[in-house]
Amino acid sequence: MFTDEDFISILLACISRMNSRTAKLVLELFENYILQMTDFDEKGVFLLTLSAITEDKIVEIFLNAEQKPEDMNIEVYIQILMMCNSRNTEDISSSFLKILYHITSWLDDDKEEPIILSCLQLLSGAMSFHPARVVNLMVNSYKFIALINSLLTSAVVQLQNASWNMLSLIILNTKGLNEKVVMAIELTINPVGDYVQNIDTVTPYLQVLSALFQQDFTCPIVSLKNTGRYPPHMACPFTTKDFKVLFIYLQQLVLQDVNDVKSTAVQCIEDMFRYLKKHSSKLVSDLLKCSWNSILLEVLITITASDLSSVQTTLQLIDVVLELDQNQSIFKKNSNLHQHLVDFIKCIDIEDLTNHATLCRIKNKIL
C-alpha cells in the first residue's frame, strides 16, 4: 500500500487533522516500514516520493490562513521530512527552500520546545548540504536571529545547546556575507570558566569558539563583548591570561570520558593555535612550554592505548602538537614520552583508512 502515491498523499493529508498522539503513530509506521525495506533502489524511490509529497503538504500548511502550523502537527511533518532527507543530495527543491523560508519567518520562542527543536534540526541538516542558501535565509530573518539570541541562555539544556550549535554553523558560513544584517547577536564568551564547567552544555560552546577562531573573530551576525583587550588582535575578546586559562580548561576536557566532549575540545585547541600562529607566535611558544603538556599527553596516550575508541581524537592532538613544536621540546628524542608515543603508534593499524594520513605524518616526525 505504501507504494501507492495516492495512498501516501491521503495518509499525509490526514495527519494535519489527527490528534498529536495518532499523528506520531503514523510517523512510527513510516519509520518501521523504511527500516524493513531491503531493496536499496526501492527504498530510494519511496523516500523521494514521500519527501516530495511531504514538502508540498508542509508548504500548504504554512500558506493556510485559517489554522496555525502548530495546530496541524507541523512537528510530525518536519520529522517525516528529516527522515527522508537524511541522504546526501546536491539538489534542493524549490518546495524545500520555501519550507526553510517559512520556518525562519515563523519560528519564535512562543512555540513549544519539540517544535523548535525539530525545526532547528531540519535547518541544521540543510546547512550540511546547502550552507550558503540556508544561512542567507536565516540572517535575513529578524525573527529567527532573535530566537537564536534568546535561546542561548535558555534554562532548557536541549534548546540552549541547539541554539549554540546553530550559531556555530552560521558563523562558519557567513564569510563574504553583507555587513548589513537585520540583527547582530550580542555574544559573551568569557570568562570561559562560566561555560566549560558544565559538561552538558560545553560542547556547543566550544563549537562556537572554534568557529570564531576559524573566522578570526570576524562575523557580521555576531557582536562580541569584551573586545579590545588583546593588542595583537583587537577584535579578540580574550586577553593573554584568558588564553592560558582556556588552554588549561581544554586540556582537562581532553581527558573526559565523553568522546564528543573530548573531540570538540581537541578541535578547539587546534583552531585556537592556528588563530594564535597568525597573531602571536610568542604566546604559542609560551603555551607549548607548559609542563602540564607532557603529563597530559602521557596520560592520554596511556588511556587511548587501552581503549582505542578515541584514537582519532588522540592522534589529532598529537599531530597538532608535533606541527607546532618545531624544536621538539615536548616529544624529545629518547625521552620516556617519545618512546611511549613510538610504542603507541606501532600498535595502531596502519591500514586504518580513517587515521591513515594522520598516522603517516606522525610517523614521519617521530621515527
pLDDT in tens, 113-146: 999 999 999 999 998 888 888 998 999 999 999 9
Alpha carbon distance 31, 41 (integer Å): 17
Which residue reads 586540556 in cell numbers?
Answer: 251
Which residue reads 591570561 in cell numbers?
Answer: 241
Let me know how long the chain is: 367
78, 79, 84, 86 alpha-carbon torsion, rounded to 10°: 110
Helix (H, G, I), strand (E, B) or coil at 33: helix
Q: Is 235 exposed, middle or buried (0-12, 13-18, 19+ CB in 10 A)?
A: middle
Nearest partner of 310 among 353, 260, 357, judged by Cα: 260
Distances (CA, A) of 347 to 127, 340, 359: 38, 11, 11
366 falls in which pLDDT band (50, 70, 90)? Answer: confident
The x, y and z cell numbers of residue 309, run together, are 575508541
CA–centroid distance for 107 within its chain: 20
Q: How far apart, in Å, do the first and last CA atoms of the chain sit?
A: 63
Per cent of the chain over pLDDT 70 is 95
Nearest partner of 102 among 132, 145, 61, judged by Cα: 61
Q: Is 258 exposed, middle or buried (0-12, 13-18, 19+ CB in 10 A)?
A: middle
Distances (CA, A) of 174 to 100, 132, 179, 237, 278: 17, 8, 10, 19, 21
Alpha carbon distance 70, 25 (integer Å): 17
Residues 6+ apart with CB under 8 A from 196: 202, 205, 206, 249, 250, 253
Per-residue confidence (pLDDT) for residue 32, from 0 to 100: 93
Distances (CA, A) of 80 to 67, 342, 360: 20, 49, 43
HSE at residue 233, side-chain half, CA atoms within 13 A, is 19
Per-residue confidence (pLDDT) for residue 181, from 0 to 100: 81
Q: What is the pTM of this model?
A: 0.91
291 falls in which pLDDT band (50, 70, 90)? Answer: confident
The x, y and z cell numbers of residue 356, run together, are 591513515
The x, y and z cell numbers of residue 2, run together, are 505504501
Query: CB–CB of 146/108 below 8 Å?
Result: yes
pLDDT in tens, 40-80: 999 988 999 999 999 999 999 999 989 999 999 999 999 99
The secondary structure of 186-233 as a DSSP string is: EE---STHHHHT-TTTHHHHHHHHHHHHHTTT--TTEEESS-S--TT-
Helix axes 157-172, 142-151, angle to 10 degrees: 130
Per-residue confidence (pLDDT) for residue 88, from 0 to 100: 47
pLDDT in tens, 231-256: 999 999 999 999 999 999 999 999 98
